[in-house]
Amino acid sequence: MTDITLAPIQPDQPSHLMATYGRQAISFVRGRGAYLYTEDGTEYLDALTGIAVCGLGHAHPVIAEAIAEQAVTLVHTSNLFEIPWQTAAAQKLAEVSGMEEIFFSNSGAESNEGAIKIARKFGTQQGVRLPKIIVAEQSFHGRTLATLSATGNKKVQDGFAPLTNDFIRVPFGDVEAIQEAALQHPDIVAILIEPIQGEGGINTAPQGFSYLEEVRNICNQHNWLMMLDEIQTGNGRTGKYFAYQHTNIVPDVLTTAKGLGNGFPVGAVMTQGKAVGLLGPGSHGSTYGGTVLGSRVVYTVIDTIQKENAVENAAVVGRYIVDQLRTQLADKNVQVRGFGMMIGIQLPKDCAELVAIARDQHKLIINVTAGSVVRLLPPINMTQAQADDLLERLVALINNYL
Ligand SMILES: Cc1ncc(COP(=O)(O)O)c(C=O)c1O
């Protein structure tokens, strides 16, 4: 063990960190399952899990053991060599996703970059000189130049012109707008959407998951690639391994990250059907994508999700939380939405201040997105007792606030 002890951060301490984040003045030194702890031992219930990352909870013993064992065995060799853990992780991910080919990356944005490259390659092969991709309003796809261009939030794009001009934007859930775009733009080759918009406010399409079926039909009709961004919704979060599994369709391209590594930075872009084989030798790569260590983590995370029946748990306990919130907050002007452990509570007013109130008064970690939506992303393996603990703190928070 290291003998370095870091001094606590002082409020006025000068920092060399780029000021890209609005940070809360608290830090956690330890975590266990659904709980986080500060240096003085204060316990917080974590209903955010690092923004849908630690789906199996903090410091999961099986994941921790896999990381520790691999760290003292072999961390990285490069993709110049065969990596049996990468092959095994791809096999597992193919099993749970129904996809055929997998490329491992290190983050969500990078996985979406891979998807955008696949769409461009697909278009180019069809003879489309400048291929276009349909994306949705209020979407979030990342912070790299191509993915921020795809993102439907002006704040993310502000000051970063020139944006890439691949993207045609339509309202989320509006299939007529997609058909209209098809008439106007013969160079469209793909659609990229989130099954449930996370950063946008836990938005489900007005027609529910049948929106995905409608999009699938349109993609088939026009020979476009259907590409789903499941970076937030994937890995059991919505009560299915991937959210599109609430339907009978399969996308051509699928991206994921976040819960795939339970806190270890990994991502993946996957293909099946007509999207297979578009990225061949020399066309894509990543030094850190699919390292021995990262791949073993992916394998172990999926294996653990399966062995703990965590996806089924997310469906059942998530349903319970939603039902209880609807009942217990019935006299409040709120709308509760979401699937599994991806839950939004739409409040009638902006409520960013609730994050600090929840933390300081209820020892509860939540997030507010899209101004007025309390976003809950608890561990997918949360127990019923922990869900009751969450409900007690949350209902008190909202009752006091409204
Ligand atoms: C749907 C979606 N896509 C992409 C991203 C970007 O992922 P990353 O921050 O790992 O680049 C996020 C992150 O919040 C996301 O929610």
If asked whether residues 343 and 268 sit together in one domain, one would say no
**Cα radius of gyration (the chain):** 21
If asked whether residues 282 and 359 sit together in one domain, one would say no
- Residue 130 is part of a domain; what is its CATH number? 3.40.640.10
If asked whether residues 171 and 72 sit together in one domain, one would say yes
Domain boundaries, position 37: 30-56+309-401
If asked whether residues 87 and 137 sit together in one domain, one would say yes
Residue having the nearest C-alpha atom to atom 8 of ligand 1? 108
Q: Are strands 267-271 and 101-105 parallel, antiparallel or unpaired?
A: antiparallel
If asked whether residues 237 and 316 sit together in one domain, one would say no
- The enclosing H or E element of 119 equals helix 108-125
Among 280, 307, 334, give the residue marking a domain's end: 307
d(CA 321, CA 327) in angstroms, rounded, equals 10
- Residue 41 is part of a domain; what is its CATH number? 3.90.1150.10
Q: Is 342 in the pocket of ligand 1 (CB under 6 A)?
A: no
If asked whether residues 103 and 49 sit together in one domain, one would say no
d(CA 340, CA 325) in angstroms, rounded, equals 13
240 found inside a domain: yes
Cis peptide preceding 131, ω within 30 of 0: no
If asked whether residues 301 and 316 sit together in one domain, one would say no
If asked whether residues 331 and 187 sit together in one domain, one would say no
Among 261, 290, 307, give the residue marking a domain's end: 307
If asked whether residues 146 and 167 sit together in one domain, one would say yes
Q: How far is the CA of 110 from the centre of ligand 1 (A)?
A: 9
Angle at the Cα of 230 (from 226 to 231), degrees rounded to 5? 135
Residues facing 101 on adjacent strands: 271
- The enclosing H or E element of 316 equals helix 310-328
14 found inside a domain: no
Q: Report the nearest atom of ligand 1 relative to the CA of 194.
A: 1
325 found inside a domain: yes
Asked if residue 215 lies in contact with residue 175, where contact means CB atoms within 8 angstroms, the answer is yes
Residue having the nearest C-alpha atom to atom 9 of ligand 1? 108
Residue 376 DSSP SS3: strand
In this structure, how many other beta carbons lie within 10 angstroms of the beta carbon of residue 62? 15
If asked whether residues 174 and 302 sit together in one domain, one would say yes
| Best residue among 106, 116, 258 to mutate for probing ligand 1, ranked by most atoms within 8 Å of CB | 258
d(CA 6, CA 361) in angstroms, rounded, equals 27
If asked whether residues 328 and 314 sit together in one domain, one would say yes
Alpha-carbon 373 to chain mean position: 17
82 found inside a domain: yes
Kindly give the confidence (pLDDT) of every residue in the chain, 402 residues in length, as a single tens digit, with 9 standing for 90 and above.
Answer: 678 888 878 878 888 999 999 999 999 999 999 999 999 999 999 999 999 999 999 999 999 999 999 999 999 999 999 999 999 999 999 999 999 999 999 999 999 999 999 999 999 999 999 999 999 999 999 999 999 999 999 999 999 999 999 999 999 999 999 999 999 999 999 999 999 999 999 999 999 999 999 999 999 999 999 999 999 999 999 999 999 999 999 999 999 999 999 999 999 999 999 999 999 999 999 999 999 999 999 999 999 999 999 999 999 999 999 999 999 999 999 999 999 999 999 999 999 999 999 999 999 999 999 999 999 999 999 999 999 999 999 999 999 999
Among 307, 341, 363, give the residue marking a domain's end: 307
4 found inside a domain: no
If asked whether residues 45 and 107 sit together in one domain, one would say no
232 found inside a domain: yes
For residue 394, which of 343, 339, 325 has the smallest C-alpha distance?
325
What one-letter code names the amino acid at 118?
Answer: I
Q: Report the nearest atom of ligand 1 relative to the CA of 232.
A: 16
191 found inside a domain: yes
| Best residue among 49, 105, 107, 231 to mutate for probing ligand 1, ranked by most atoms within 8 Å of CB | 231
Q: Is 141 in the pocket of ligand 1 (CB under 6 A)?
A: yes
161 found inside a domain: yes
**What is the count of structural domains for the chain?**
2
